[in-house]
Amino acid sequence: MTGTQRKIIHIDCDCFYASVETRDDPSLRGKPVAVGGRAETRGVIATCNYEARRFGVRSAMATSQAIKRCPGLILLPPRFDAYRAASRQIHAIYRDFTELIEPLSLDEAYLDVTHAPHFQNSATRMALAIRDRIRAEVGITASAGIAANKFIAKVASDWNKPDGQFVVRPHEADAFVAALPVGKLFGVGKVTAAKLNELGAQSCADLRDWPLEKLTRHFGRFGQRLYELCRGHDERPVSNDQPRKSLSVETTYVQDLRDLDACRTELQALIADFRERLARAKDAPLPYKAFVKIRFDDFSHTTVECISTHPADEVWQALLAEGWARQRRPVRLLGVGVRFEEEKALLRQLELFQSTP
């Protein structure tokens, strides 16, 4: 990196929804608590506290499965007004330290404090002060990672959870990243991690032995990103003006949709809901791709997409048919939406296909 070395803090509140619930009802302290949908409506867990995690409960798990693992689980419906209020308090604290804030969710954000004057420009001390204020003013705890780029800062914020922080100094970054399992890399989920493991890459150090050509052969354009991340390279700036990347709606059904015809009927209702939401999104850029998301009754899932700038209902229906044919099983969840073209890609299209006055 040229010029001034960045100082980036990644802040992540601990079990955010569950922490707000416990703050507001102290009788819940020390008990396994989760926030999510009811089992009888095929709900899923949005978040849970560490007491529940000891039983194997985790976010995105079906509520019915969570209750089997933890029969004493206290399940609460989400109170988004309370979470948004806490989020506003947290972001007000961030703004006392820097204007360069990139929110990732209600409780998670990157802060660029490279030029912040507080605490003699010590990012470590700023992170500690931010966490102390969140505890004192909001009543919950947060963890932090401090590093020279976003990737390493985010990984570091998990290192001393809950209610801790971890700093990776520039001269420590290479060894820190080399020791990481490949599953810690951005964009590497369980399937990709398993494939990398099968190919002999367990750690980022292993992956560094792979030439770029091998990575792109196995993983396409994502191979370039893997090549950079396993070396700890991440030049993305902290941006407080992130464009919307996608818009979608989805529904989990109380009863499985038994066949494609049943899916088609439900998808039509989803499309109508999506069009209403898109009409309300005044700041949304132009659609670039249409997609359909399907989760089957065995919890396997697939997403099918195609390039479409003005998708008609028939486009989503065709994507549904393609996705359903991959498993031909009853369906528990359907989603429909669009991905938006990035600004740079739009500029390229203008240069290629349009002349400007």
What residues are designated binding site?
A: 12, 107
Q: Yes or no: say if 140 and 86 are a contact pair by the CB < 8 Å rule.
A: yes
What span, in angstroms and rounded, lies between the C-alpha atoms of 290 and 308? 6
Closest of 108, 114, 63 to residue 90, by C-alpha = 108
Task: Tell me if residue 319 falls in helix, strand or coil.
Answer: helix
Closest of 259, 261, 267 to residue 297, by C-alpha = 259
Burial 268-297 (b: 16+ CB within 10 A, else e): eebbeebeeeeeeeeebeebbbbbbbbbbe
How many CB atoms are closer than 10 A to CB 339? 18
Q: Which of 21, 51, 102, 108 is catalytic?
A: 108
Beta pairing partners, 274:
none
Binding residues for Mg(2+): 12, 107
Which two three-digit tokens encode residue 339? 């991905």
Alpha-carbon distances, residue 270 vs 43, 189, 198, 250, 290 (angstroms): 18, 27, 39, 7, 13
228 is catalytic: no
DSSP one-letter string for 247-260: EEEEEEEEEEE-SH
Q: Yes or no: say if 316 and 290 are a contact pair by the CB < 8 Å rule.
A: yes
Q: Yes or no: say if 172 and 24 are a contact pair by the CB < 8 Å rule.
A: no
How many CB atoms are closer than 10 A to CB 153? 29
Strand runs labelled E in 234-347: 246-257, 287-296, 301-307, 331-340
Listed in sequence order, the DSSP H helices in 8-59 are 16-24, 50-53
Task: Tell me if residue 299 falls in helix, strand or coil.
Answer: coil
Residues annotated catalytic, as ranges: 108
